[in-house]
Chains A and B, each alone.
Chain A
Amino acid sequence: MDLGLNEQQELLKNAAREFLENECPEQHVRDMEEDEKGYSPVLWQKMAEQGWQGLLIPEAHGGAGFDFLDLCVLLEEFGRALVPGPFMSTVLGGAVPLMAAGSDAQQSEFLPKIASGDLIFSLALTEPSARFDEAGIEAQAEVSGNDVTFNGTKLFVSDANVADYLIVAGKSGNGTTLGIVATDQPGVKVTQLQTIARDKQCEVVLDGAKGQLLGAEGDGWNILQPIIQKYTVAECAYLVGLSQMDFEISVDYAKERVQFGRPIGSFQAIQHKCADMVTDVDGSRFIMYKAAWSIASDQPEDDTTLAVNMAKAWTSEASRRVVAHGQQIHGGIGFTKDYKIQLFFRRQKRAELAFGDADFHREAVATQLGL
């Protein structure tokens, strides 16, 4: 038992931090909020040169062959730097489903291009029902051989505005069927939503959208289970980094901001908030990594499911408490657009809601525990 990073993970973490401090400063985060695409193709290519889009992809397909826990180390740094763009969409919503269910031909076709930064993917799962369970899927999937045609509306699809392909989940008969759908066809209509985090979530209307079948017809929900689990833990990892940075900025501010002739960080009212923040951040980090470890080391399915539900139940709430304290410590400056802390506050809410908020996962924990 050991709750520290190994040498390779330390290297990855340090390299990522240094790279992102240079390449993804605060101004870049702000610029991308206003940007139509929401990401920088130049930075995207540089990230591919770091080997990040292909981190999980096997070496045979042009990737680095790291495991899921390693990816979470990287995503913690993404949360810290609030990296904008379709990274999680492409890795969790593209590479992971393709690795899980893609045919040899599909893997050979898509994975190298994901690793090289030439393709952007996204997972088109949620719909106007806004649910993360199978019952939420109403879009229709019509299968014919290896082809599948989708009709319906997908909502809250991240980065569909820039995605080359979508992994779409639709209903066929009694089951769920997945397809790989190119976005450059008349049957796919993408509209951006304006969201609190100014990320690029979209409505995607599928009107006879054609794609290739991913996995067996009707087997989609089984395939999606571990993918959704990974995506959920990935959001937790992002939240851990986000919370850590919000906390560090707030503690630094408390050391510098002087009122009544002394730094406000010398007041217990502020100190105790900071103590609670570090408890929430640390608690989030380990419960997230426990879930990541459970996935990466192939622990029994029930254990992994419980660990994932627990991680998102806790991290969703703990990160919200952290950013709320962060705002309060900053006082008036904190709620101005110009100051950086609000960037964290707004992005926390997106990730809190993504792949199930605390209520959703608390309910799942209760079920898992047989309550």
Chain B
Amino acid sequence: MDWSDSPEQAAFRKEVREFIQTQLPDRYRPKDAFAPGADSSEGGEEESELTAGWQADRKSQDPEKRETAKQWADALAARGWIAPAWPKEYGGAGLSVMEQFIYNQEMAESGAPSVGGMGVSMIGPTIIVHGTDEQKEEHLSRILSGEVAWAQGYSEPGAGSDLASLQTRAVRDGDEYVVNGQKIWTSGAHFADWLFALVRTDPEAPKHRGISFMVMDIKSPGITVRPIIDMGWKHPFNETFFEDVKVPVKNRIGEENRGWYVGMTLLDFERSGIAGAISYKRDMGQLKHFLETEDGKRFRRQDFNTTRLELADRAVETEVLFNFAFRIVSIQNRGLVPNYEASVNKMYGSELHQRISRTGTKAWGLYGNVWDSKSEHAPMKAHHIKDYVGSVPHTIFSGSNEIQRNVIATRGLGLPRG
């Protein structure tokens, strides 16, 4: 057991750090966002929590923001670091799992935005494994250049945790499929150029075996993207409607009716989720720091000091989450595939996130309920109360925590399925 870097790991960490130091645009560098008088206009209400930063900048009205986004993408692209985990032959950096981990750790520590989104993390790897040469040619380089952004169309109003019951229908008509139906929770579809989706191509087959995986230009006639405004007035998600959308058969990835398995493809990516642990630790550091300022003393609840011990608890719990992340990468680094452990991370991390936001909110007593980040009565620009609301989806999306517990119990512990 060793929590420290080997000499090789330390050298790679140094390389990543130096890159960030010299290449990361100022706009993405952490500022003391909660200092009195700090400009809070950046990262404002209209930006989605899930896609804030680079994704939004790249489609911004402001040419300066677009230029900044391009500058960061170009710097990463020059190192193959837009897709650090992809094999070199496809334009990635071919980093080992441990190098990916260190890369992700350092990027998260610096607050640097990742580039490429779902293109890099999901559809690219799927095309690398299942795509034709033509599909690789068409899509991979445009993901790497940041020219095309992707959104995911999996969930439907009637297919949430039971995803395989999805009903969006694709009917073959010569060289095309005609797609009708509806997807929901399509994160970032309002920034996306292309969509990858699971659609039903055989309604008679058992539910996992009648699904195909296809990609479509989001500007195709018949596709309508409508915003879903969440309970925090943000716009992270959309509904996407399909009305007689014509998708060329050549846009299907993998065999017809094998889409469920194509969608489950996993490349050798590190899956520690280290970025979450790092952001929670930073969050608590900022809270502690702010509590010591004059403003912090003004807002801090006067009746009880429950914050001290609660924060200590949250710090211990964050340490546990760090270790869960280290465990995953240790398993992967030994050439093994994590089993229930990844579900533990998702479940534990999302619940910890909610506890941290609650602890932060409690620190301010009545001031904790001020929502207006520009109000003189808002501690830390209402960060905690917004996080309290913003963290609600985290125990629901990416497989609800109930599903994660089912996976841990059945796949991990061998308990019989219900």
How many residues does chain A have at the interface if contact means C-beta atoms less than 8 Å apart? 45
Which residue of A265, A278, A289, A310 contacts B315 across the interface (Cβ within 8 Å)?
A310
Segment of B175-183, B189-197, B408-416 in the binding face: B408-416
* Contact across chains for A272 and B320 when beta carbons are under 8 A apart: no
**Interchain CB contact under 8 A, B415 and A254:** yes
How far does the Cβ of A74 sit from chain B's closest Cβ, in whole Å?
14
Q: Given that A362-B313, A365-B316 are contacting pairs, would A1 and B402 also be in contact in the complex, using a CB cutoff of 8 Å?
A: no
Give the complex CA separation of A287 and B316 in angstroms: 9
- What is the bound-complex CA distance between A268 and B408, given in angstroms? 11
Q: Is B382's CB within 8 Å of the partner chain A?
A: no
Stretch at the interface among A2-10, A101-109, A128-136, A166-174: A2-10
Task: Compute how far the CA of A262 lies from the CA of B330 in the bound complex, rounded to whole angstroms.
Answer: 37
Closest 3 CB pairs of A and B: A271-B409, A286-B323, A275-B408
- State which residues 1-59 of A face B: CB under 8 Å: 1-6, 9
Pair A283/B320 contact, Cβ less than 8 Å: yes
Q: Which chain B residue has the least Cβ–Cβ distance from A293?
A: B1
* Contact residues in A for B1 (Cβ distance below 8 Å): 2-6, 9, 69, 289, 292-293
Say whether B3 faces chain A, with CB atoms less than 8 Å apart.
yes
Does B312 lie within 8 Å of A1, measured CB to CB? no
Q: Name B409's closest neighbour in chain A (CB-CB).
A: A271
With contacts A1-B5, A271-B409, A274-B415 known, is A362 near B312, CB below 8 A? yes
Report whether A3 and B330 are in contact in the complex, using a CB–CB cutoff of 8 Å: yes
Q: B309 to chain A: which residues have CB within 8 Å?
A: 362-363, 366
- Closest-by-CB residue of A relative to B291 is A371
How far, in Å, is A195 (CB) from chain B's closest CB? 27
Q: Does A164 contact B (CB under 8 A)?
A: no
Given known contacts A310-B316, A366-B308, A267 and B418 CB-to-CB distance under 8 angstroms: yes
Is B209 positioned at the interface, with any CB of A under 8 Å from its CB?
Answer: no
Are the C-beta atoms of A287 and B415 separated by less than 8 Å?
no
| Residue contact B311 to A279, C-beta cutoff 8 Å | no
A301 at the interface (CB under 8 A from B): no
Q: Does A266 have its Cβ within 8 Å of any Cβ on chain B?
A: yes
B324-336 vs A, CB cutoff 8 Å, 1 = contact: the mask equals 1011011001100
Check B312–A251 contact: CB distance below 8 A.
Answer: no
A225 contacts B by Cβ under 8 Å: no
Complex partner residue of A1 from B329, B344, B409, CB under 8 angstroms: B329
Instruction: List 21 A-B residue pairs with CB atoms under 8 Å apart, sorted by A's residue number.
Output: A1-B2, A1-B6, A1-B329, A3-B323, A3-B326, A4-B1, A251-B415, A265-B415, A266-B416, A270-B415, A271-B409, A271-B418, A282-B324, A282-B344, A283-B324, A286-B323, A294-B3, A310-B316, A363-B312, A365-B316, A369-B288
Give the Cβ gap from A368 to chain B, nearest Cβ, in Å.
9
**Residues of A with C-beta under 8 A to B4:** 1, 297
- Give complex CA distance A141, B414 in Å: 58
Residues of B109-165 at the interface with A, using a CB-CB cut-off of 8 Å, are: none
Give chain B's interface residues, CB within 8 Å of chain A. 1-6, 9, 98, 288, 307-309, 311-313, 315-317, 319-320, 323-324, 326-327, 329-330, 333-334, 340-341, 343-344, 347-348, 402, 404-406, 408-410, 412-418
**B333 and A2 form a contact (CB under 8 A):** yes
* Pair B326/A272 contact, Cβ less than 8 Å: no
Q: Which residues of B contact A290 (CB under 8 A)?
A: 3, 319, 323
Would you call A71 an interface residue if the criterion is a C-beta within 8 Å of the partner chain's C-beta atoms? no
CA distance A2 to B408 in the complex (A): 23
- CA gap between A365 and B5 in the complex, in Å: 25
Check A370 for interface membership: any CB of B closer than 8 A: yes
B residues near A286, Cβ cutoff 8 Å: 320, 323-324, 326-327
> Given A263-B416, A266-B418, A275-B409, A366 and B312 touching (CB < 8 A)?
yes
A56 to B280, CA, bound (A): 38
Q: Which residues of A contact B5 (CB under 8 A)?
A: 1
Chain A positions 271-318 with a Cβ under 8 Å from a chain B Cβ: 271-272, 274-276, 278-279, 282-283, 286-287, 289-290, 292-294, 297, 310, 313-314
- A286–B323 CA distance with the chains assembled, in angstroms: 6
A250-B343 Cα distance, complex, nearest whole Å? 21
Chain A residues lying within 8 Å of B409, measured Cβ to Cβ, are 265, 268, 271-272, 274-275
* B288:A371 contact, CB within 8 angstroms: yes
11 further A-B pairs in the complex, CB-CB below 8 A; given A286-B326, A310-B319: A1-B5, A3-B330, A251-B414, A251-B415, A266-B415, A268-B402, A278-B408, A310-B315, A363-B309, A365-B316, A366-B311
For the complex, what is the distance from the CA of A363 to the CA of B98, rounded to whole Å?
35
Given contacts A4-B334, A278-B408, A279-B348, contact A255 B324 (CB under 8 A): no
The distance in angstroms between the C-alpha atoms of A369 and B319, with both chains bound, is: 13
Residue contact B412 to A278, C-beta cutoff 8 Å:
yes
Tell me, in angstroms, the Cα distance from A292 to B3 when the chains sit together: 11
Chain A residues lying within 8 Å of B416, measured Cβ to Cβ, are 255, 262-263, 265-266
User: Which residues from chain B contact A279 at a C-beta distance below 8 Å?
Assistant: 344, 347-348, 408
Nearest residue (CB) in A for B408 is A275
